[in-house]
Structures are given as structure tokens and as C-alpha cells.
Amino acid sequence: MNAVPRKLVAAVAVVLWSVLAPVSPARADEGEAISTVSEALTALIASKDDAGRPVLTEETREQLAALPTRVKSLLDDAVANEMITSAEHIATILGAGFNSDKLEIVLSDNCFLCHTDYESQGPDQLFSLDPAAQESPLHLNLRNYASDVHLRDGISCAGCHGGDPHEDMGHDFPPSWPTSQKRRTEDRSWIPEFCGGCHADAAVMQRLAPKLPTDQLSKFRTSRHGLVLMDGKDSRAAQCLSCHGVHGILSPSNPLSSTHPTNVAATCGTCHSDAEVMKGFVLADGTPVPTDQVEEYRGSVHDRALMERGDLAAATCNDCHGGHTSASAESGVASYACRSCHAANAMLFDGSNHKDAFDKHGWSECVTCHGNHDISKTSDSMLDPSKSKLCVSCHDKFSTPEKECSATAEKFFLKIASMSAAAEQAEHEIERLAKRGLDVEPMEAGLERLGDALKRSRSTIHAFDRDRFAEIAGEGDAVAAEMAGFIDTAREDYKTRRLELYGSILMIGLLMLLIYIRLRAWERDNGRPGA
């Protein structure tokens, strides 16, 4: 009789064990759980500091345990070859944030293994997680190196510095590497050619990054930066590393990259906002190159579009001045850059009578009225003769003060102001009518058309042609009149609703009164309580 319950208990125990055992928490306790690695590595993992605490944190041990077998095996090899001799070295490598693919690259790279070992390297040569604490140069940051775009393509230390990463020591630098300490630190003019060794080589780039262009070097040579650096031998001029960094180069599409559109102004400002760096650089007229461009740009219409709206197409430094082709404003390139985005306005301007005058005086066509780095949102008041001197500031000086010109500007302003006021009032009215539950669909469509006409009218001003302006503004007037009709109808509708309501209240109220009188009469006649 007892056999059955015993079997049952055994069966339940087996089932319980098989269910519970797999879910019992895995403990990566001091190396015991990482059973697939060598004894030497296990010993390193389990090593303790002077106070008897494990050197590797619980988190690092769990990270180790979760590594793919091939990476564990490379780690084993590095320990067996004595390239890794301490738990601290392991903690440094794993703490940098390499993914398993990149770990596979660096763990088989002796340059890397040696230059991350604080026992064998001095501060000047040591990559660490915190270079400032190690008193090392800041570019020896291992976390940055882990995110470098080159490492993703398998290009490790030897890719630039030369040598054989599988040998013990291989300081066999490439021929183009600077030979003297002076050249390495003070003369930076060798850098563009050095990077161009790969980036200007179509065959190499075709293999590694086929989408990238290979003309950066040739553009750079003709750029302002290139001329100052390579011809003028002035190492203050920007070269590849100045903008892209070193040992942590990211793709420009990465929001953390110094060349991502949202970071470009700050990157350029590193030099251009520094009076010390810019000292001695002058414009064609001999005046010093200003250092307030970035400050002016901040808060401009372009900066706000980029930084607040996240519109990556909004202009930043390189969109007007070029990137590798960096041009100064004097070259005239920057002033033409507006056209690449604001094409419609540029075409209107081309057909205007202002075009010849601007060309004759050599005025920058957009910048003269709108400014450059600190372009603020345009407003209708720019045309208001009572508030703005925009037109007269030139007309007074360079052209016979013609009444006709002032009259034209005033005409533009008054028409646009009236359309703008009409649109604003219509919007307000539509909102009010919508809240009252009226059908505002046709009005909303009209408002959109009115907004469109207003935008086109403002744009047409760039042609400085009364007839052309009148044609476009006339469309706006027609829409505004149509809207006024819709709004009047809706107001009438609402009036009717209210009248119908008052009628209903009157009728129902009267009915209630009659019923009440009749009830009271019945109650009086019947002498009932409640009477």
C-alpha cells in the first residue's frame, strides 16, 4: 500500500526539480560558473585585492560569463601568452563597451593588449577608461576607441600606426608617418595626406566603405583651411583630426559625432570662437577675422530649426561655407549658398531690377537684407516704412530717393499686413465657431488657402514688381472674401440655433406651466396632500 504514495512522492519530486532547477538563479560566483575557460583565466577572474574583495565586480563576471565561446577562447589565449596578466586588465577591456565582434578584433591584437596594460605602459602610451585619472593624453580614451568607426571595419591600431599586431613588438611605422617628434606635434600638414592614403584611394574605399566619396583630400587642398595648412604651413588651420577627432571617430550621421549637423557649429567654434587661435588671421580688407560667428548663429532661424525642431536639413556652418571645401565669405561662395535651399526666392530676385544694382555694387544678394549668421525670422515689419529703414538705408545712399520706391514698399507692407490680419482674425473666429459646434471644415480649407496665398505674396516681394505682387495678393483677397462669407453663414447658423432653443424653451416652459396649473387645480379639487 505504501509503495504507491512513495512513487508518487518521488515522481512529484522529480517533476518539481525539473521545473524549478532551470529557473534557480545562476550565480557567476568568483569564476566558478564560467566553467568553459582555462584554469589560468579562472584564477585571474577569482583574484582578490588586498582587502580580500574580488577585483572583478559581479557585473563584470556576468559580462564575462555571457561572452561568446570564440571570444572566451581569445581571452584564454591572451592570458596563456601573458598578454593579459591581471584581473584589472580584464576589467579595463570589458569596461570599455566593446561589442563581441570588436572584442574579437582587439583580443587578437597585441598592440591593443600591450597598450591597455597599465603594468607595462607609462601614462603617455596607456589607453584607459579614464585618461585624466591616469594623467594620460585625453585621446587615449578606451571608451572612445571602442566606438570608433574604423574598428567596425576591422581597422585597428596597425591600420594607421603600422606594424604587425600579431608580433610581440612591431613599431614598423608606415613611410608617411612623421619621423620627428617636432613634426608629429607642431607640424600637422602631413595629416590630410596621411588620411588620404586610404580615403583618397578609390580601390581601398571601394572595399571598406563604398558609399563614401574619395574627393575629400582634393577638395581640402583648395579650401581655405587646406591653403593655410599645406601651403602656409600654419598648423592652426583645421585638418582631418580637428573636426573628426582621433581614436573615437564616429560617422557624421551619429548624433554623438562632432560632425553631426547638430554639433557642427560647436566643432567649428572650437577654433573660430577662440580669439587666441584666430589671432593674426585677417580678411581681404585687413580687418581681423571675427570670432563671434557661432555666438551670432545661436538663436538664429537656422539654429532654432536645427536644434529645437531637429530639422537636419537646416543650415549650419558647412552648408554655406562647405565642409572639406571650406570657403570664406569673401569668396562669394557662401552668399550663393542660400539659393540651394531658397531657390524660389532666388529666382524671383534674379528677375528683379535689384539684381543689377546688387551685382554692380558687389553686394551679397540675400545677406544684405537678411544678414548672415544671425538671420532671424523674417517679419512683415521689415517692409514697414514707419519701423524699418531696410529699404531707405540703401536707397538714400545709392539711389535717387524715389517716392515710387517708398510707395511700392508701403503698398507691399499694407497689403501683406491686411492679409495677415485677415488670416489671424479668421483663425480666431474659426476656433470660436468650432467650440460652438459649427461646421468649420470649409473654413479650415479656406484658411489653408489664405495662408498659402500669404506665403506666396511674401515670397513675390523678392521680385520687387507691383503687378506680379498684385496678381498673387489678389488670389488671397478672393479667398479672404470667400472665408468671410463662410464665417457669416456660420454665425447666422449659430444665431438660428439660439433662436430655435429660445423657442423650444418658451414652448416647453409654457407646457410645464399649464401642466402645473392643471395639477394644482386637481389637487385643490381633491383635497390631496401636496396641494
Partner 1 sequence: MKPARTSTGLRAWLEDRYQLEPLFQFLSHKEVPIGAHSMVWYFLGGATLFFFAIQIATGILLLMYYQAGEATSYESIRYITTKVPFGWLIRSIHCWSAHLMIVSLVIHMFSVLVLKAYRPPRELTWVSGYLLFAISLGFGFSGYLLPWNELAYFATVVGTDSVKSVPLVGEWILEVLRGGPDVSIATLYRFFALHVVILPLAAIALIGSHLLFVQRQGMALPVGSTKAPPGMPFFPSFAVRDLLLWLGCLLVLLSLAVFVPYGPGLPGVDWELGVKADPLMPAYPGIKPEWYFLWVYQLLKEFPPHLLGLEGPQLCLLLVSVLMVFWAAIPWLDKSARNNRPSPMFTDLAFAAAYFLLFLTLKAWDIGAPEGAHDEAAALITARWSAWAVLAVAAVFSAFRAIRHGHHYYILSLAAVLHAFGHGILGFSYLVAGASTAAIALGLALAGGFFSSTASAERNG
Binding interface with partner 1 (CB under 8 A): 435-439, 441, 497-498, 501, 504-505, 508-509, 511-512, 515-516, 519, 522-523, 528-530
Task: Give the separation between CA 357 and CA 472, rounded to whole angstroms.
Answer: 25
Helix, strand, or coil (residue 282): strand
Residue with smaller CB distance to partner 1, 9 or 511 = 511
Give the shortest CB-250-to-partner 1 separation in angstroms. 27
Cβ partners under 8 Å of residue 192, min gap 6: 217, 220, 221, 226, 229, 230, 239, 240
Residue with smaller CB distance to partner 1, 32 or 441 = 441
Give the shortest CB-438-to-partner 1 separation in angstroms. 8
Residue with smaller CB distance to partner 1, 398 or 502 = 502
Rounded to 5°, angle at Cα 115 from 121 and 126: 55
Q: How far is CA 470 from CA 54, 378, 412, in A?
A: 83, 21, 9
Give the shortest CB-498-to-partner 1 separation in angstroms. 6
Phi-psi region of 233 (alpha: psi -120 to 50; beta: other; left: phi over 0): left
Give the shortest CB-527-to-partner 1 separation in angstroms. 11
Task: Give the separation between CA 156 and CA 102, rounded to whole angstroms.
Answer: 10
Give the shortest CB-346-to-partner 1 separation in angstroms. 37
Give the shortest CB-377-to-partner 1 separation in angstroms. 24
Do 120 and 114 form a contact (C-beta atoms < 8 A)? yes
Q: Where are the beta strands (DSSP E) in 68-214?
A: none
Q: How far is CA 155 from CA 66, 160, 271, 435, in A?
A: 25, 8, 29, 64
Give the shortest CB-25-to-partner 1 separation in angstroms. 18
Do 239 and 225 form a contact (C-beta atoms < 8 A)? yes
Give the shortest CB-511-to-partner 1 separation in angstroms. 7
Residue with smaller CB distance to partner 1, 279 or 428 = 428
Task: Give the separation between CA 224 and CA 268, rounded to whole angstroms.
Answer: 14
Task: Give the separation between CA 422 and CA 480, rounded to whole angstroms.
Answer: 7
